[in-house]
Amino acid sequence: MLGMRIQSRRAELAMLRKPRLYDGVTFARLCRARDYLGDCYRERVTLENAAKQACLSPFHFNRVFAQAFGETPHEFVTRMRIEEAKRLLLAENGNVTDICFDVGYESLGSFSARFHSLTGLSPSAFRREARVAFGGFAAHWPLYYIPACYQRFFLDLPPGPSVT
């Protein structure tokens, strides 16, 4: 029974993520809502407010947003927050708690758990490992984002740390 429920949920999620090209008007509305989420991700944002930007009901908005962009509004906001947190951890010296609040989380525990689930490391470990891997920072922080093949070709750097 549980197996069937999991399978049906998986099928539902797969349908939700099936990329779809929406007509120009709908896509423009969704983009407006996405821009709103992108501008406000540091604050408390609700699905209802984002859906209003797209003139859609929250449930419908959640579904079509995922189909148009490949991620739900919540996943989009989380990605923006975690990406910004990574940039702050790499490029600046602020402490983890300040960064957590700066990017819109209200609890250090939720921030750390989310960060860990998406990067495999705690925020402090991420900063420590990146600094060890890429040398003296903060000017070199973009290196974290540049794949090793490009580093090798354009920057004359050996590829990043390897796992054998």
Which string of x and - marks every residue 79-118 that binds other proteins (by CB under 8 A)? x---------------------------------------
Nearer to other proteins, 101 or 153 (CB): 153
Residue 125: partners with Cβ closer than 8 Å, 6 or more residues away: none
The yes or no reply on residue 24 touching other proteins (CB under 8 A) is yes
User: Token digits for 152?
Assistant: 């090798």
Nearer to other proteins, 142 or 158 (CB): 142
Distance CA 14, CA 44 (A): 28
Distance CA 55, CA 137 (A): 45
- Length of the chain counted residue by residue: 164
User: Token digits for 55?
Assistant: 């003139």
Binding residues for other proteins, per CB under 8 A? 19, 21-24, 27, 31, 34, 68-71, 76, 79, 139-143, 145-147, 150, 153-156
